[in-house]
């Protein structure tokens, strides 16, 4: 995780007010957001660390992510640009129970039956995305959230691709898309393929 350069809590992005900082990574900061018209409506707002964005290209890539509708993929509802700063942001379903990393801190022994169930759910999500010719590029415990019904939800599809539509405004926590510990060899050569996601899943299962 990288530290935030500044906290945007309290600011309004589109129809949403950022009410609490949830976390940050190399490409984005995530906040709990509430709809200004319906405060009970809570979402996750992912504010991308991008400037000088090609808005046409960004919209095209984001529309592809919006089209991913699957029981084990975090739903992306909308995307836009903050009016004053033109910073791009994503409006996503909020998972209050956190990620697999929160549920199983590093070093925890997870029962085999639980691992098998996890793999089934994540693999179904990857299979669906791969059939749409969409790669994840960063499968890891932090990017697998716990849904309200207890099912796993794969998050951050397309984030690495969206990051290429502009210039990174903060110092990324790593130089290439992906997280080194989980990256397949071809990812280090910037030549990801469907098998790269499978490799990352395999590393996560071993871990």
> Mean pLDDT, to the nearest integer, of 97-108?
91
Residues acting as catalytic residues: 138
Average pLDDT estimate for 155-162 = 81
Cβ contacts of 135 within 8 Å, gap of 6 or more:
129, 192, 193, 194, 196, 197
Q: What is the pLDDT of residues 65-87, one digit of tens each?
A: 999 999 999 999 999 999 888 89
User: Which of these, 145, 180, 172, 157, lies nearest to 5 by C-alpha position?
Assistant: 172
Question: Half-sphere exposure of residue 6, counting CA atoms within 13 Å on the CB side?
Answer: 5
Separation CA 89–CA 8 (nearest Å): 12
C-alpha dihedral sign at 155, 148, 22, 56: positive
2-53 pLDDT tens trace: 344 578 999 999 999 999 999 887 788 999 999 999 999 999 999 998 888 9
- Answer yes or no: pTM beyond 0.75: yes
What is the structure's pLDDT at 121?
A: 97
Share of the chain above pLDDT 90, in %: 68
Hey, CA dihedral for 179, 192, 66, 74, is it positive or negative?
negative
């Amino acid at each position: 995780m990288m530290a935030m350069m500044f906290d945007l809590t309290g600011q309004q992005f589109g129809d949403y007010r950022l009410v609490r900082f949830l976390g940050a990574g190399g490409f984005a900061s995530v906040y709990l957001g509430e709809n200004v018209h319906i405060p009970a409506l809570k979402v996750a707002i992912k504010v991308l660390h991008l400037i000088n964005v090609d808005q046409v290209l960004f919209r095209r890539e984001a529309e592809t992510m919006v089209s991913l509708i699957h029981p084990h993929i975090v739903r992306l509802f909308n995307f836009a640009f903050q009016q004053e700063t033109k910073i791009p942001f994503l409006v996503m379903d909020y998972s209050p129970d956190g990620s697999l990393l929160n549920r199983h801190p590093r070093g925890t022994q997870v029962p085999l039956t639980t691992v098998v169930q996890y793999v089934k759910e994540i693999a179904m999500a990857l299979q669906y995305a791969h059939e749409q010719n969409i790669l994840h590029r960063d499968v890891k415990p932090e990017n697998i959230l716990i849904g309200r019904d207890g099912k796993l939800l794969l998050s951050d599809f397309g984030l690495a691709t969206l990051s290429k539509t502009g210039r990174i405004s903060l110092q990324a926590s790593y130089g290439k898309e992906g997280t080194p510990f989980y990256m397949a060899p071809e990812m280090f050569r910037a030549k990801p393929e469907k098998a790269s996601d499978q490799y990352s899943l395999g590393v996560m299962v071993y871990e």
